[in-house]
Amino acid sequence: MKAQHVQLTAEVGINHNGDINIAKKLIDVASVFGVDFVKFQKRTIDLVYTKEELDKPRESPWGTTTREQKNGLEFGKNEYDEIDEYCRGRKIRWYASPWDQLSVKFLMQYDTPYIKVASAKITDFELLSMIKQTNKPLIISTGMSTKEEVDKCLHFLGSQVEYILACNSQYPTPDHEMNLSFISTLKKEYPKYKIGFSNHHAGVFFCCAAVAFGAEMLEFHITLNRASYGTDQAASIEPAGIMRIVDYTRGLETAIGDSQWHVFPGEEVIKKKLRKE
């Protein structure tokens, strides 16, 4: 039986801190280690956040308000044009999570393989309606969601959804809330869909354990340094960890097997030597 290829997504997200060179370094790391996709997040700041929220005081490398911080983190067309070209050169594909309708339109300029619906957005049916019109394959995450909320999202989006990812939306997720066995629950509840896991733990162990539970896609945040500025850095994986996740996942794909009874060829010689007929 051929080993299943688990799809690996390294989420750059906003860990580039508004610096295209950092984004390229993260793309390099993902590409060199054999990750399948890199992922970003796209927001239209004035649509996603209220004026009151944006005007609040907030110290950051870009200024003293939340608006300055959010604008500092956001990439525009010039940066995404570079990302698109750079990923093609590095033989790795990219996609993103749009957080508003204008961001959906923005992303449609690019030939991305998926659109990701973030956990925070699976109940935003105005956004889902725009996403549905793209006819692109979709990935949804289940973080902080009830079964009823997930069911409504799936009913609305239908077969356009390819992957459902088990997820806890706390950054970083504590060990006792990882609930990896939920992957098995999703596989039973939604047999028509591929089931994966979106990780927000800072370690590599649970990512690999998710593969053993049957995850068909693994998504994890990446960073060059967890001590860098940013809310997502502490829940992200550094380069050495990315390499281990890829190596362990590819090994597990082969080692998991098909769950059937076998006397393997390598055992036959031992069997003849040790068994008495």
Give the tens place of pLDDT for each residue, 108-163.
999 999 999 999 999 999 999 999 999 999 999 999 999 999 999 999 999 999 99
Instruction: Tell me if the bond preceding 172 is cis, omega within 30° of 0.
Output: yes
Which pair of tokens denotes residue 272? Answer: 């003849």
| pTM listed for this prediction | 0.94
Taking Cα atoms as reference points, which of 36, 52, 2, 23 lies closest to residue 223?
A: 23
**3 pLDDT tier (thresholds 50, 70, 90):** low
* 3-state SS track over 106-157: HHCCCCCCCEEECHHHCCCHHHHHHHHCCCCCEEEECCCCCHHHHHHHHHHH
Q: Hey, what domains does the chain have and what are their CATH numbers?
A: 7-43+91-256 (3.20.20.70)
